[in-house]
Amino acid sequence: MSRRPSLAVADRLSHATRHLPAPLAVVDLTAFDHNAATLVGRAHGKPVRVATKSLRSRPMIERALATDGFAGLMCYSVREAIWWAGEGSRDILVAYPSVDLPALRELASDSSLRAAVCVMVDSVEIVDLIAGGVGADSGLRVAVDVDASLRIGPAHLGVRRSPLREPEQVESVVRRAHEHGLVVAGLMFYDAQIAGLPDSSPLVRRVKSRSAAQLSERRAAVTDAVRQLADLEFVNGGGTGSLHVTGLDPTLTELAAGSGLYAPTLFDGYDGLELTPAAFFACPVVRRPAEDIVTVYSGGYVASGPAGWSRVPTPLPEHELRLLRTEGTGEVQTPLRGSAAARVGLGDRIWFRHAKAGELAERFTQLVLVEGDEVVGHAATYRGEGQCFG
């Protein structure tokens, strides 16, 4: 499981950033590098694509790529992929289907971009839409997203992504892609019910184990069938929480991860996943509405996913302060309650961890880079470079 920050973290970060205005976001480079090595070590020798949505900072993505064992980008937008290709990246997979036809036409019209970027499809319908938008025989490289969820009777355990499950379904999409002059370069199987689900109970552990076994068999059958029709460059799978499982599957040629580099709170409940929290943000105290309550400026950086308390930021435990259940985190202010409130002064910083990873970067134009108790640099976020890909 992710290790909670030591009791010295808040004081150390406050000291390092004392000359900078808050709110601000920080990445601890020592922890980031530790997490990068940990993820590579769990991949059983398979290369790991960097999931860009989980970092959303070009310098931090490049730092991950500089770690032996990481190779290639997994982007979430075609326009993002074109931007990265323009920066010199040559191995880019867009992990989600796109109907951005102008961007797809730009991609299809440039041989250098076509060689660098592979886009995602998951149905005959989207293959037809893309082909109709970019023209026949474009040579656009595509990968097919295959549903990796677990089915037990009528129950669907996993996220709702691709409608494709069985070999014949995937084969039909591959054949249609070929009819339109698209090049089928890869397959993707994202096991969200393993990679994205904490080990919260014995039942969850059993479900994850059963899912991994079932998926391994089906993944092999689908891949074998598609290899009869297409010369696959890659078969991708996994995420931060499942590298240790997916890395053992001989069908997969590569894995993907990103969130674990920052180690947000959603990874605190995973068995055997020894990550160190690397990303934090600080908000300054601006009011004292009651003896046991202080209010910080801003803080309402709620993560995506099912609404609930698992999606809100968490103050570091050393502050001995907790969110108010009646207010949570606010757009411009966040009240916190605890006996320690009496010891907190106006202007003091309260440090939080985000529930997820890259979404925090949408709130800041830069990340402050810290080693020990010193600021050693800054890393622009996508927003800081004037980029917003949705």
For position 110, what pLDDT does the model report?
A: 96
Domain span at residue 37? 28-264
Residue 190 domain-assigned (yes or no): yes
Confidence of residue 347 (pLDDT cuts 50, 70, 90): very high
Confidence of residue 271 (pLDDT cuts 50, 70, 90): confident
Rounded CA-CA distance 302/363 in Å is 11
Which is more confidently placed, 234 or 214? Answer: 234
Residue 381 domain-assigned (yes or no): no
Mean pLDDT computed over 78-98: 97
Rounded CA-CA distance 352/279 in Å is 9
8 closest CA partner among 320, 301, 337, 373: 373
The CATH number linked to 164 is: 3.20.20.10
Which is more confidently placed, 217 or 234? Answer: 234
Rounded CA-CA distance 142/180 in Å is 12
Residue 11 domain-assigned (yes or no): no
Confidence of residue 1 (pLDDT cuts 50, 70, 90): low
Rounded CA-CA distance 284/15 in Å is 14
Kindly tell me the burial class for residue 8, based on how many C-beta atoms sit within 10 Å of its own C-beta (0-12, 13-18, 19 or more). exposed
- How many beta carbons lie within 10 A of that of residue 66, not counting itself? 10
Confidence of residue 136 (pLDDT cuts 50, 70, 90): confident
Mean pLDDT of all residues belonging to the chain = 93
Residue 359 domain-assigned (yes or no): no
Residue 338 domain-assigned (yes or no): no
Residue 16 domain-assigned (yes or no): no
Compute the C-alpha angle 248/169/206, nearest 5°: 40
Confidence of residue 201 (pLDDT cuts 50, 70, 90): confident
Residue 388 domain-assigned (yes or no): no
Asked if residue 42 has pLDDT above 80, the reply is yes
Asked if residue 389 has pLDDT above 60, the reply is yes
Quote the number of domains for the chain: 1
Confidence of residue 269 (pLDDT cuts 50, 70, 90): confident
Per-residue exposure over 37-57, b if at least 16 CB sit within 10 Å of its own CB, e if not:
ebbbebbeebbbbbbbbbbbb
For position 197, what pLDDT does the model report?
A: 65
- Which tokens is 203 given? 């039942």
Asked if residue 4 has pLDDT above 60, the reply is no
Residue 191 domain-assigned (yes or no): yes
